[in-house]
Structure 1
């Protein structure tokens, strides 16, 4: 069981890392678009922006309902990143416990 569970949890941890990176890119890209640093009429920029919106918005939408808007500052990405980091720590602890439990089972 541990032979399958440890790699699956490791893959889940890496997926969370990738998702956090996508959130960062989405936030930075929204700032760049808001300050007209990158052009919204560019097809590639529009395509990347839409992809990031579709990937991150389902997780951010429920948090936006809970976290109040602070005068145009959206704190939901920060809250989501904290939640994902917490989830990564939990996954890491589970992996550590599984790794420690495996040698103890081999002795008996």
Structure 2
């Protein structure tokens, strides 16, 4: 079973903006929306180039926010085939866990 690191997202945001709860919430929402957008693009990708680009963008986004579990999944997606249902399920589950 894979563990997810929602605590690292909060820690990265807190380190960036201090204890401003409103700003942390705004940045968290921006991250979640951006990650969802990239996962949606992955799910619609039908060629290697679009798949790799969406995976690369997702990996960069996750690296910016210190979400290591999703970095690993994005790297796995980069190496995989467009539309891989297993990696898409894992990415969605990881994102869902961060949404809680």
Taking structure 1 as the reference length, what is the TM-score of the superposition?
0.44
* Higher RCO (CA-CA < 8 Å; seq separation 6+): 1
Structure number, greater radius of gyration: 1
Taking structure 2 as the reference length, what is the TM-score of the superposition?
0.46
